[in-house]
Chain A
């Protein structure tokens, strides 16, 4: 019988043996659902989306395993560096980014388009986790102590909002808030911030772009402009309604197949799924997602270091927000903000972010017994 070495002495085979393969399996399943949906969206064809999606999925899952092998102390050590890099890239898009869909979000590196706001989602989790790693409850009780981490969250959120990308800004704020919460910040402080935010609504309304205001207004009464701004959401609801309990069958979604449904391969792919496979299919997929999130929280709970716990929970929360925002959007619960459904929507950036993030979660779990001192930077 082999005795497992101490946590900080794990070798590659030990690490692979400790990988929670059920987590990988569920992610792969979700990705395969995406593959099937994209195949259907193209009218039962691998082109132009499904094949490339499958390739990316394979690459992404491999990258995830590689990331999971990395010692969390490495992430700890470079957390602030990574954050600074992501922040600089965000500023760079602000200054010279190329334009896409009226929103300025990419840096074109020639071979790939880098989306710094996606990078920032992970960087903010790492930076906050590092900050709160050494914090006692007494520390987080002091308001001044909370100012630096608050800036770490708010500054990129404002930049992203200015791009303008409402969905990502909300995600950053919510993920940041979650980490504050898990670090032990008192309830009443959240209540205070929430009150201030509500009071700020009229101010924000003034600052919104016309297209964003239009989206909010359309959301409140989409039927008012069925052929203009309300088109997306009405068509999406019709598609959902026509799906019924069991759906119309694979490749049979008329709304999607007849191109009534806009952006069916990206942001509105969940609508197509729910049209073709009904409430049952949608529920199955949502359950798979929920399993991933809850597993992530479970890994957080059984990890020894505060840094690891915060990273696992924060990344799971980020992933969760993607899904909730997207599904709430296509079902008309919130305005259309342009957030994809990770692993199912066509498009590489969100899939990469999520799979790298899941790699982190998995890595935290692999190294769950690792003891990290309050300032363990020099140990690596």
Chain B
């Protein structure tokens, strides 16, 4: 029996020797690994040649262009030249800026910005001194480059929007990726300095398509970093062009036509295909301003403007549809069998329901009215009666079938659905039961109802194309983007009912007593139809009505009525549907109808949808809707 202490020491020593052996062995493994990497595998890295090295960088694909329906570029890329400095490689940033300033003009602000950037970025990150060099300046700097260590010249592509604000809302814009983008999107391209990401509009919606995929370039470079030869190139995937349904001329015209208004929007659709031919919203903004990040001041200015210049009001602006909604009420009543073409209601200028009195816009009343006349003259009482009898359920259901209160599915972000109220909705959100009076107000498109100009255009298109549920779309599907065009489903609505709506709209424009009779098209063979709408922003008080104040145009802008108009042309075989909303424009017939007439006239003149189909040779295949396949 040994001494326990000696035994323990013996075990310890033996095991310590084992440990030492293991350490030597592991270091042997490390040495072998280093030998393997540094001597045996070294040629595999193709780096044996003295003073040559590999530089690896991402090849950033050019962003895809956005084209109009005729292939005209609405958004493309143009080259720019800039000068940058790398702090790590210059001994004195201030001195190098002085040296640069002797060669090219540098404003004090640019100098300050460059110093600030050089301070705040890591030493090896190139920071921009000037972004907008002319070709002469590039040449000057290139010649002197040996004296300017750490100064880099390079060129890049910058997004160019040829038509500025005229297409800003449809196209959207590009901007630098922010922290959230970087977190949510693993694409290494976003980590490349100067890479831009699509933000709203088509740029945002089709960013993945437009962006393309990064390629990889390995260059052999020499001691001073000059590229000697290409070692490996893995091509990326170029950004795809996106072709829109927009007609450039019509869009520009539409924008300019409504630009005189403080705040307005307009949509022109092809009623057969759902193609959006023009979609304008004013005021606009300069999309190029976002490319390098917009300033806080500018951003706040846009954000706080009550006219919402950054918002595409054609699909994000929601307004009570007002009298443009009367076709829906009329169709609901007719489809339910409550009225027909000949049934009449008498309009004394108001409708009394219990203790409440609902006024017609025409104080003396319209007398006895049937459907077509009631639409032409926009008699409120006729639709009060029809709406009260058919009830809100049928009205809302009909509105939904025509695309109101539901998403149109257009391929643009931030579309709003507006609201077509139901009994359940009112109980859930207001906590009150649905009242008969609510139905009365709803039947002329007031009260809780809201819709977007795009929805109103879709409604008009479905009404005038023979009852096909076309849906609006902007970008032609490309294989693999998950969308396809299918024949538009036919809605189950009696043709003669639809024809009455069309006729009512025709009479509103062309009839002797129509609300928009002064707005008929100028040419003899093209007739248009349409419906005015004037929707209240604020409840009219009894006192105001008594004093006639509610029609005055000298009220504050924000309190004035919205002016709306929906229309179609030509009458015989409608091809174009238009909707115009002038925010606080006063009255539909005065403010919106003339614009709509001009837009339809322009559409007919430009004929963007190609040769008009003859009335009899209609091919149902032309009626299309866009769906997300799969």
Q: Which residues of A contact B (CB under 8 A)?
A: 43, 136-138, 178, 181-184, 226-228, 237-238, 240-245, 254-255, 258-260, 274, 278-279, 282-283, 286, 289-290, 293-294, 297, 300-301, 306, 309, 313, 317, 320, 324, 327-328, 331-333
Question: Which B residues lie within 8 Å of A306 (CB)?
Answer: 8-9, 12
We find that the number of chain B residues with CB closer than 8 angstroms to chain A is 43
Pair A241/B37 contact, Cβ less than 8 Å: yes
B39-83 at interface with A (beta carbon < 8 Å)? 39, 41-42, 44-45, 47-48, 53-56, 58
In the complex, which residues of chain B have a beta carbon less than 8 angstroms from the beta carbon of A244?
A: 38-39, 42, 48
Q: Which residues of B contact A260 (CB under 8 A)?
A: 55-56
Most buried by A among B12, B88, B89, B186: B12
- A254-B53, A259-B124 known; A283+B34 contact, CB < 8 A: yes
Contact yes or no, B38 A278, CB < 8 A: yes
Is A241 within 8 A of B23, CB to CB? no
Q: Is the CB of B16 within 8 A of A301?
A: yes
- Whether, in the assembled complex, B31 has its beta carbon less than 8 Å from a beta carbon of chain A, the answer is yes
Residue contact B216 to A279, C-beta cutoff 8 Å: no
Contacts A240-B37, A254-B53 given; indicate if A182 touches B16 (C-beta within 8 A): yes
A-contact bits for B522-536, CB 8 A (1 contact / 0 none): 000000000000000
**Given A279-B38, A286-B27, A327-B30, 20 other A-B residues pairs in contact with their CB atoms under 8 A:** A43-B88, A137-B4, A182-B19, A238-B54, A243-B38, A244-B38, A244-B42, A258-B53, A258-B55, A260-B55, A279-B34, A286-B31, A290-B24, A290-B27, A293-B23, A294-B20, A294-B24, A306-B9, A309-B16, A331-B30
Q: Chain B: residues with CB nearer than 8 A to chain A?
A: 4, 7-9, 11-13, 15-16, 19-20, 23-24, 26-27, 29-31, 33-35, 37-39, 41-42, 44-45, 47-48, 53-56, 58, 88-89, 124, 186, 188, 214, 216, 225
* Residue numbers in A under 8 Å from B20 (CB-CB): 293-294, 297
CA distance A260 to B45 in the complex (A): 15
Q: Max chain B CB contacts within 10 Å: which of A183, A242, A260, A297?
A: A242
Residues of B within 8 A of A238 (CB): 45, 47, 54
The smallest beta-carbon distance between A48 and chain B, in angstroms, is 9
Summarize A's interface: helix, strand, loop or mixed: helix
Bound complex: CA A83 to CA B84 (Å)? 53
Kindly list chain A residues whose C-beta atoms are within 8 Å of the C-beta of B225. Answer: 258
30 pairs, CB–CB < 8 Å, chain A vs chain B: A43-B88, A136-B8, A137-B7, A137-B11, A181-B15, A182-B12, A182-B15, A184-B12, A228-B186, A241-B38, A241-B41, A241-B44, A241-B45, A244-B38, A254-B53, A274-B38, A278-B38, A279-B35, A283-B31, A290-B23, A294-B20, A294-B24, A297-B23, A306-B8, A306-B12, A309-B16, A313-B16, A328-B30, A328-B33, A331-B30
A306 to B4, CA, bound (A): 13
B23 touches A237 (CB 8 A): no
Check B33 against A331 for contact (C-beta < 8 Å). yes
Residues on B with C-beta less than 8 A from A294 are 20, 23-24
- Bound CA span A181–B48, Å: 46
Assembly CA distance A312 to B7 (angstroms) = 20
Contact between chains at B39 and A245 (CB < 8 Å): yes
CB distance from A246 to the nearest CB of B (A): 10
Contact B53 A255 (CB under 8 A): yes
B188 adjacent to A228 (CB under 8 Å): yes
Least distance between B508 CB and chain A CB atoms (Å): 62
CB neighbours of A183 from chain B (8 A): 12
Least CB distance, A213 to chain B, in whole angstroms: 14
In order of increasing CB-CB distance, the 3 nearest A-B pairs are: A241-B45, A254-B53, A242-B47
Give the residue of B8, B19, B88 whose beta carbon is less than 8 angstroms from that of A259.
B88
CB within 8 Å for A227 and B188 given contacts A137-B11, A283-B31, A286-B30: yes
Cα-based distance from A259 to B86 in the complex (angstroms): 11
Complex CA gap A283/B37 in Å reads 13
Complex CA–CA separation, A332 to B81 (angstroms):
40
**Measured between alpha carbons, how far is A71 from B165 in the docked complex, in Å?**
81
Interface centre among B19, B39, B58 (most CB of A within 10 A): B19
CB distance from A323 to the nearest CB of B (A): 8
Complex CA gap A278/B24 in Å reads 21
Neighbouring A residues of B54 by C-beta, 8 Å: 238
With A184-B8, A290-B27: A240-B34 Cβ-Cβ less than 8 Å: yes
Which of chain B's residues has its CB closest to A241's CB?
B45
| Inter-subunit contact A181/B47 (CB<8 Å) | no
Q: How many angstroms from the CA of A317 to the CA of B11 in the assembled complex?
A: 18
* Bound complex: CA A15 to CA B308 (Å): 82
Of A182, A286, A332, most buried by chain B (CB within 10 Å of CB) is A182
Q: Which residues of B contact A237 (CB under 8 A)?
A: 37, 45
Shortest CB-to-CB span from B484 to chain A, Å, is 34
- In the complex, the answer to whether B23 meets A320 with C-beta atoms within 8 Å is yes
Q: CA separation between A241 and B46, bound complex, in Å?
A: 9
